[in-house]
Structure 1
Amino acid sequence: MTINGTDITMIRGDTESLTITCEDEDGVLRPFEAGDRVTLTVAFRVGGEAVLKKTAETFLDGAAVFCIAHEDTNDLQAMAYRYDVQLTTKTGVVKTIIPPSEFRLEGDVTRE
C-alpha cells in the first residue's frame, strides 16, 4: 500500500492495515476516544454505492486502525475508486476528516 497525500494505492486482494489519525482545525492531534465512530467508505464514485465499508469504534493509542482483508478487495475490479473517512463523535457531531480522494486498486498476477 502506498499513500500520497490522501490518495491510496494498493494491490487488489492484498491484506493491508490502514491507520487513521485526526487533527483539529488548529492542526493539533485529536485522538479518537470511546464513543467515537470512524467510517472508511470506498465507492465507484462520490455518491455512488459503497464497494467497501469499514467502521472503527475501538482505537489504538487514539488512532483508528482498519484491517483490509484479502476478501475485501479480491473480487473488485482493478481501477480508481473514491473514498472518504467520516468521524461521528460521541456527542453526535459528524465531520468528514478525509475528503473524497482516490483509492486505486492495482491489478495482480497471482490470484488466490
Structure 2
Amino acid sequence: MNDIELIRGDTLILDLSITDMDGEAYELQPDDECLFTVKKNVYKKDPVIQKRITGSSFQIEPKDTESLSFGSYVYDVQLTLVSGEVHTIIPPSAFKVLEEVTW
C-alpha cells in the first residue's frame, strides 16, 4: 500500500523509486516534472500540499502540515515527461494527518 500517516507538524522524508514498463529503474531527467500532490479529496481543485520531486527523495516540512486539520486527505504522484507523456506513478492513496501531543 502507498498510504501515508504523518503527525501534523513533523518532518517526513519519502524515497521514490520509478521503474519503466520493463521493470528498469528510471531516473528523473532535468526537464521531467514529477509532482507529489495532496488534496482534501479527489474532487477538490486546489492542493493543500504540492511538492516538485527532483531526485529520488523529497521532504514534507513541518510548515507543510502545521495548519492542516487533522484527518484524511488523498495524494498521488504524477510524472510528466519532456515528451508530454503523463504517468500517474502512485495512484490516489490515503494521506492521514494525525494529532500531535507536544505542539
TM-score, normalising length: structure 2: 0.90
- After TM superposition, give the deviation of residue 47 of structure 1 in Å: 2.7
AA of the residue aligned to 2:9? G
SS, match of residue 102 in structure 1: strand
1:53 aligns with 2:50: yes
Aligned length: 102
Coordinate RMSD, CA, aligned: 1.3
Q: Provide the C-alpha distance between the structure 2 equivalents of 1:31 and 1:75, rounded to a whole number of angstroms.
A: 33
Q: Provide the C-alpha distance between the structure 2 equivalents of 1:16 and 1:101, rounded to a whole number of angstroms.
A: 17
AA of the residue aligned to 1:110? T
| Gaps in structure 2 of 5+ consecutive residues | none
SS, match of residue 19 in structure 2: coil
- After TM superposition, give the deviation of residue 39 of structure 1 in Å: 0.2
Q: How does 1:50-89 map to 2 (within 5 A)?
A: 50-56=47-53, 58-59=54-55, 63=56, 65-89=57-81
TM-score, normalising length: structure 1: 0.83
Q: Which consecutive segments of 4 or more residues in structure 1 shift more than 6 A?
A: none
1:36 aligns with 2:28: no
Q: Provide the C-alpha distance between the structure 2 equivalents of 1:27 and 1:47, rounded to a whole number of angstroms.
A: 32
Deviations 1:45-81 (A, max 9, x none): 113131111112x32xxx2x22111110011111111
| Gaps in structure 1 of 5+ consecutive residues | none
